[in-house]
Structure 1
């Protein structure tokens, strides 16, 4: 069979054989097989051209995708599948990109964690889940995390949470709120508690009294419509305790409030 047409179309070239079969190929394919118009090729060569053209096109797409930022093997694989690159070609593309150091899941994991350590507020558990979603092997994630200390991140995040909630909650509730928030952000309970213990929280009896009085007014309006006497006192005690107020303080305030 003979090449009857070889014409550039944007990023690819249109290859036409005997004015019947058409396929798109890359410039690398033309160079590799020394293709020119009117050149004779056999079926075996045509199959080799198709295979290499798919590989070359897919690699170019992958390199474009990688030009913006680091990616994982899974991200590149999904991107190539989205662009209709055949699975066999994808496997070869991924292998070559790894050999040329365009793809390195270990390096990706380290960079991702280091960026989070510098400016993020997430602990190891959340980062593990995020990296798993990006297709990283659990062993790589685990080995990478072992290299880093999250103490400073936990303390920095605890300080931020303190600025947000201080003055709005009693100390007991503040401790529970900050500790639980740190756990939610991916820190272990032990690390969250240790981070909270580094905080300097000034006692402010006047503020605490204002907080409990405000909350008591709110809870009284809620429960006094349905309860009275001892039952009302119990409901108010339970409600205030759930808000983190100290039992002795609740007892004192309720005595003055209800008598």
Structure 2
């Protein structure tokens, strides 16, 4: 068969034969097979051209995707599949990108970890889960996390949480809030407790009084519409206890308020 047309169409080229076959190919494909108009090719060669063009197009797509930021191997594979690259060709494309160091899951994981240590707020378990979601192997994850010290991250997050909640919560509730947030961010209990112990955290009785009276007014507006007497007092006690105030502080505040 003979190539009757080889015409540029945006990013690709349209190849047509005298047997009404149409194939979209990349510029790399043209160079690789020395293609030109009027060149004679066989059916087998056309299949090779199609296969090479698909791989070349897939690689170009992947490089475009990688041009914005570093990606994991799984992310690139998912991107190619989404853009209709033949599933059987994706491993070949990914292997090629790995050999050329466009994809490197170890470096990707190290960079993600470095950014977190530098300015992030995630503990080791959260980082592990994030890397797993990106398709990073357990071996690579363990290798990256094995010797890493997350205490600076935990300390930075604890200090941030202290600034956020110290004027809003009583002493006990503040400690619980910081601890719970640290654990939710992927630190284990001992790491969270260690970070909490490094804070300059002291109970301010005057502030506690201001906070409990403010909260008491809010809860009283809520419950006094439905309850009075003993039931109202009981409801208020329960509401304040849930907010982290101890019983003696609640009892004293209610005595003055009611």
TM-score between the two structures when normalised by the length of structure 1 = 0.91
Tell me the alpha carbon deviations over residues 3-25 of structure 1, each in whole angstroms, 9 at most, x when there is no partner. 12222222222211116111111
**What is the match of residue 218 of structure 1?**
218
Cα deviation for residue 177 of structure 1 reads: 1.0
Structure 2 gap segments, 5+ residues each: none
**What is the match of residue 61 of structure 1?**
61
Question: What pairs with 1:15-164 in structure 2 (closer than 5 Å)?
Answer: 15-18=15-18, 20-164=20-164
Question: What pairs with 1:175-254 in structure 2 (closer than 5 Å)?
Answer: 175-254=175-254
Asked whether the equivalents of residues 70 and 108 of structure 2 are also in contact (C-alpha less than 8 Å), the reply is yes
Runs of 4+ with >6 A deviation? none
Q: For residues 206 and 20 of structure 2, what CA distance do their matches in structure 1 show?
A: 89
Between stretches 236-245 and 85-94, larger displacement belongs to: 236-245
Asked whether the equivalents of residues 171 and 202 of structure 2 are also in contact (C-alpha less than 8 Å), the reply is no
Cα deviation for residue 230 of structure 1 reads: 4.6
Q: For residues 48 and 215 of structure 1, what CA distance do their matches in structure 2 show?
A: 75
Cα deviation for residue 223 of structure 1 reads: 3.9
Q: For residues 47 and 225 of structure 2, what CA distance do their matches in structure 1 show?
A: 84
Asked whether the equivalents of residues 5 and 19 of structure 1 are also in contact (C-alpha less than 8 Å), the reply is no
Q: For residues 184 and 59 of structure 1, what CA distance do their matches in structure 2 show?
A: 39
TM-score between the two structures when normalised by the length of structure 2 = 0.91
Q: For residues 225 and 135 of structure 1, what CA distance do their matches in structure 2 show?
A: 55
Asked whether the equivalents of residues 4 and 19 of structure 1 are also in contact (C-alpha less than 8 Å), the reply is no
Tell me the alpha carbon deviations over residues 33-67 of structure 1, each in whole angstroms, 9 at most, x when there is no partner. 22222221112211111111111111111112112
Asked whether the equivalents of residues 62 and 76 of structure 1 are also in contact (C-alpha less than 8 Å), the reply is yes
Between stretches 55-64 and 2-11, larger displacement belongs to: 2-11
Change beyond 3 A, Cα 1:82–1:207: same
Asked whether the equivalents of residues 179 and 196 of structure 1 are also in contact (C-alpha less than 8 Å), the reply is yes
Q: Give the length in aligned residue pairs.
A: 258
Change beyond 3 A, Cα 1:18–1:245: same
Cα deviation for residue 248 of structure 1 reads: 2.4
Change beyond 3 A, Cα 1:222–1:16: closer
Cα deviation for residue 227 of structure 1 reads: 4.6
